[in-house]
Each structure stands twice: as C-alpha cells, then as structure tokens.
C-alpha cells in the first residue's frame, strides 16, 4: 500500500474522530471479510472521504493502477417524473421531453458501431406502463442484438411493478425475457408531485 494512502487514512480517522473503526480498517487492509455489523458501522460514519480512502486501498490491491472502462450511449427517454428528488436536475428543468421509440432508435444508430452498451434511465413517467418498458427493450434488442442493454433504474421499476401489481421477481423476469441484460443503480424518491 502506498505511504500517501496510509497518511490520508490516518488523517481522515483523526479528523472524523473515528478511531473506533480501526479494527474494521485493519481487517480490510489484511484482506479479511467484514461482517454485516462492521459494514453498517462504516455506512454510518458519514465520512465519504474515509470510505473513499478505504475503497482506494481495496481497488489498488485488486487492480494496481489499471483502470477499465466501457464506451456506451446514455439515453434518457423522458424527464417527466412522478417524483421530485432534491438533487435531480430533471425536477428543476422547465423544458419537458418524451422521446418516441423511433427517436430513441435513431439516437443509438448514430454511434452504434462504436459502443458496447446502451444505458437507459429516465424520469418515472406516471402514464407509462410495463408494456412500454418491455416494448422498448424488445425493439432495441431487435435492432442492436449484440450490444449490452442496461436499462431502467430501480425507482422506475419499483413504480411500474407496483402500478401493475406484480412482484419484483416476475417483473424482472419479463424484462430479462425482453432483452434487458442488467439494470443501473440510482434514483431516490423524495416527494411525490402527483
Ligand atoms: S425519480 Fe429519478 S428522475 Fe425522478 S426526480 Fe428522482 S432522480 Fe429525478
């Protein structure tokens, strides 16, 4: 481990008055698995700097200085949303958009030769149903068979599954069958507009 990383770690520990976390940190440095209670203690520190320092230690141990990335296209079908999360620029945008399926396919076409992933997240449109999400995935996979489709945030899925009164397992299976390969994280319900 680099000396500068250790110095930063000690600095953040003292600054945040988090020396009680030392036993957990020693386990991480020694490549030992932490348990759920220890994970929760880290979660509750509120020190992003300390956590990022620990994450850097683990990353450097696993991958050294190698960095991996993918090239993707990010599609946001709509910014119309049933929610109003504080940090979201959508909810503050005055200009609303709602792309058609054709517009989405056209956007992807322009760079499809140069990407390995299509990433789709958008607002939680209150009028869209599960069929909309399924059809979008089917149409995209029909046109771009070999590109990984990472689509729909958990907030969108949670909303539409509840609306359709189906459980998560069934809903996720329907989307997988339609061609969704994985889902992104992110999104937070702050307060309802509608
Ligand atoms: S649910 Fe997503 S799109 Fe809607 S306000 Fe929250 S972050 Fe923004």
Q: Structure pTM?
A: 0.73
| 194 pLDDT more than 90 | no
Stretch 136-144: mean pLDDT: 97
**Pocket residue to mutate for ligand 1, from 82, 84, 91, 183, most atoms within 8 A of Cβ:** 91
Q: Which atom of ligand 1 is nearest to 87's Cα?
A: 7
CB 140 within 8 A of CB 106: no
Percentage above 90 pLDDT, the chain = 57
Q: Which atom of ligand 1 is nearest to 122's Cα?
A: 3
Domains of the chain and CATH, by start: 3-63 (no CATH), 72-178 (3.30.750)
The pLDDT tens digits for 167-187 are 999 999 999 999 999 999 765
CB 181 within 8 A of CB 146: no
CB 125 within 8 A of CB 159: no
């Amino acid at each position: 481990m680099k000396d500068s990383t250790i110095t930063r770690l000690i600095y953040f520990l003292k600054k945040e008055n988090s020396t009680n976390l030392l036993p957990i940190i020693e386990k991480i440095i020694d490549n030992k698995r932490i348990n759920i209670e220890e994970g929760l203690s880290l979660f509750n520190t509120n020190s992003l700097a300390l956590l990022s320092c620990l994450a850097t230690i683990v990353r450097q141990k696993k991958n050294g200085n190698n960095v991996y990335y993918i090239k993707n296209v990010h599609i946001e079908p709509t910014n119309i949303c049933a929610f109003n999360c504080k940090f979201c620029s959508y909810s503050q945008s005055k200009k609303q958009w709602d792309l058609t399926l054709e517009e989405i396919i056209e956007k992807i076409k322009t760079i499809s030769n140069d990407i390995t992933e299509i990433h789709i997240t958008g607002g939680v449109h209150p009028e869209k149903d599960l069929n909309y999400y399924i059809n979008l995935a089917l149409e995209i996979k029909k046109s771009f068979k070999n590109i990984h489709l990472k689509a729909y945030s958990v907030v969108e899925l949670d909303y539409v599954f509840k609306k359709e009164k189906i459980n998560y397992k069934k809903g996720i299976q329907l989307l997988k069958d339609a061609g969704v390969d994985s889902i992104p994280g992110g999104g937070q319900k702050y307060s309802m507009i509608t």
